[in-house]
Structure 1
Amino acid sequence: MTAFTTTPHLRSRPAPPSPLRGGLSRGGLELRQFFREKDAVVFTFSLPVVMLVLLASIYRDTVPGTGVGAGQIFAASMIAAGIMSATFVSLGNGIAQDGDDGTLKRLRGTPTPLTSYFLGKVLLVLVVSLAEVVLLLAVGRGFFGLVLPTEPERWLTFGWVFLLGVVACALLGIAVGSLARSAKSASAIIMLPFIGLQFISGVLVNPITNLPAPLVQLGSVFPLKWMAQGFRSVFLPDSMTFQEVAGSWEPGRTALVLAAWCAGGLVLCLLTFRRRNSQRG
């Protein structure tokens, strides 16, 4: 009689979750971790609001012939800075911290794809940015007379400026955070351009035409200037276009520059993250 050897049935391992499902799960984790860090939450949400209150309280002039006060202009522009604070600053520091505490190294040893990690970060900044914008709109509306538009096309403009701005600034934050050698150095590297760009992008200086031409040209290279201009086109009347460099809101150019930064930011992320992984093994 021929003996047969039977091999035990090998239970197949469960398939890893899809990148989208993993990203949603990671996003929930990121949100819980973010809101547990009270100091980070307070800094992220309070800095743009404090800057808005200070600027709008100091400059109370009304633009002749328009009925638009300086507080309304600062409120519209500060939305862009609030988004940059919630994306570029928070995400850049977060990526550097994940590198320091070993999160990124442990991630490479798990079946979770890197795509899910980044999707989780994007979900985090989307939620935080939206909350930041709601807070700034409430302050601008309640204290400085910011008028919320009723035309659907203006809210459509708000939507694409918001989404493109969040993606562009988030990708830049990831790239800068990947370049930082440590979480401590990341803060200095990130805050310098964040503060400087607010001056040369027409956020803290009103109107932007008061800036020297070379500074305006430098600010026009980066997304913050176009985000601020896009939000001014949503919340300010068309009579205010004379304060813009081109004398118009330039929606087409705004969309083109922000989309270009989304594409360029993605390339920068891939390059810097690959460099970080090769250096840290």
Structure 2
Amino acid sequence: MRLGLSRVAYEVRSYFRQGDSVFFTFLFPVLFLLIFAVAFSSATFGPPGGEISSAAYYLPGMLAAGLLLSGLQNLAIDIAMERSDGSLKRLGGTPLSPVSYFMGKLGQVLVTGFLQAALLIAIAGIFFGVALPTDPQRWLTFAWVFLLGVTTCAILGIGLSALPRTGRSASAVVIPIVLVLQFISGIFIQFSVLPEWLQNVASIFPLKWLAQGMRSVFLPEAFAADEPGGTWQHGLTLGVTLIWLVVGLILVRVTFRWIRKDS
């Protein structure tokens, strides 16, 4: 526990010292929120009488994308790089256990994910006048969707880090997966306009449900009619994400090594 907690501070410092990681994982959703809010500033979304601005509409999707980027993309690439350059091999020869190492990584993702979400919400509210929820129940929903989502994405990222054979290939392997998931999960495109077969494929993965959970927090209740089931389906969001959390834990247990088996 002591080593794990000390690793959290180390991992957070290391994360913010890497300019590319900060841009492509921490600031990327912020940049896209700004682009969508400005590009579609004259457009409104929603049923007549209940229209909202583009900034309000895209905020939930950017929050969900932030969970994926901060957790899955960040850790999958970061750990693959550490394995490739020998950092993990050296750590394997120290008193640091895999549990303490994972505590550091998970702690870093929780801290950076929280800061990222706070920045997105602050920008939407301050600069674009997005009305934030006043119902405590909605913020409670945000809390469990955020915590479950960021933990699941982080665990999946650790498991996915075993896929790239070298650190150089990590970005080429991980980023296309992340981009495809975002395009089919209702992050950039309204989910209900996608073909039904593509909606069914996206529903297998957790990002679609995390985005839907965030929409249930920040969008008016009338927008629930646009979801495939006509409701926010919090039970399915919880169930599917928990299943992927278990899958991620199994992947980590089976695949994680301080060095590759074929090294």
State the distance in 1 between where 2:258 and 2:202 align: 28
> Which structure 1 residue ranges, 4+ long, deviate > 6 Å from structure 2?
none
TM-score (norm 2): 0.94
Within a 5 Å distance, the mapping from 1:60-75 to structure 2 comes to: 60-63=43-46, 64-75=48-59
Distance 1:78 1:72 in 2: 10
**Whose Rg is larger?**
1
Structure 2: 5+ residue stretches without partners: none
Alignment correspondent of 2:21 = 40
Query: What CA distance in whole angstroms lies between the structure 2 residues aligned with 1:237 and 1:172?
Result: 31
Matched residue, 1:116? 100
Q: Deviation per CA, 1:213-258, whole angstroms, max 9, x where unpaired? A: 1111111111111111001101111111111111110011111111
The secondary structure found in structure 1 opposite 2:242 is helix
Mapped contact 2:71–2:109 kept (Cα < 8 A): yes
Instruction: Report whether the alignment pairs 1:205 with 2:189.
Output: yes
Task: Please give the per-residue CA displacement for 1:88-139, whole angstroms capped at 9, x wherever unaligned.
Answer: 1111111011101212111221222110001100001000100110111112
Asked if residue 93 in structure 1 is aligned to residue 93 in structure 2, the reply is: no
- Residue identity (%): 44
Query: In the aligned structure 1, how far is the partner of 2:226 from the partner of 2:54?
Result: 12
- Note the 1:165-184 alignment, pairs <5 A: 165-184=149-168
Q: Gaps (5+ residues) in structure 1?
A: 1-19
CA–CA distance in 2 between the matches of 1:237 and 1:169?
27
Question: Could you tell me whether the CA contact under 8 Å between 1:147 and 1:236 is conserved in 2?
Answer: no
**What amino acid is aligned across from residue 257 of structure 1 in structure 2?**
V
Verify: 1:25 aligned to 2:2, yes or no.
no
Match of residue 136 from structure 1: 120
> Counterpart in 1 of 2:247?
264
Q: Is the 8 A contact 1:226 1:258 kept in 2?
A: yes
**2:227 matches 1:249:** no
230-239 or 134-143, larger mean C-alpha shift: 134-143
- The answer to whether structure 1 residue 191 and structure 2 residue 170 are counterparts is no
Using the alignment, how far apart are the partners of 2:8 and 2:97 within structure 1?
14
Match of 1:178, SS state, is: coil
Which structure has more RCO (C-alpha within 8 Å, separation ≥ 6)?
2
The reply on whether 1:104 has 2:85 as its aligned counterpart is: no
- Residues 225-244 of structure 1: pairs in structure 2 closer than 5 A: 225-244=208-227
Report the residue type matching 2:223 in the other structure: M
Aligned length: 260
**Equivalents in 2 of 1:35, 1:274: separation in Å?**
26
Residue 277 (structure 1) shift: 4.2
SS of 1:233 mapped into structure 2: helix
1:275 Cα deviation after fit: 10
State the alpha-carbon separation in 2 of the partners of residues 65 and 245 from structure 1. Answer: 22
Give 1:44 deviation, angstroms: 2.2
Letter in 2 for 1:225: K
Structure 2 CA distance, aligned partners of 1:31 and 1:213?
41
Report the equivalent of 1:11: none
Tell me the TM-score normalized by structure 1. Answer: 0.88
Whether 1:83 and 2:79 are equivalent positions in the alignment is no
What is the deviation of 1:62? 3.3
Matched with 2:198 is 215
1:57 paired residue among 38, 59, 62: 38
Partners of 2:73 and 2:102 lie apart in 1 by 16
Q: Which amino acid aligns with 1:110?
A: T
The whole-number CA distance in structure 2 between the counterparts of 1:42 and 1:193 is 18
Matched AA of 1:56:
A
SS at match of 1:183: coil
Q: Is the 1:35–1:41 contact (alpha carbons within 8 Å) kept by the matching residues of 2?
A: yes
Q: CA deviation at 1:274?
A: 4.8
Which residue in 2 is equivalent to 1:9?
A: none
Contact 2:45 2:52 survives alignment (8 Å): yes
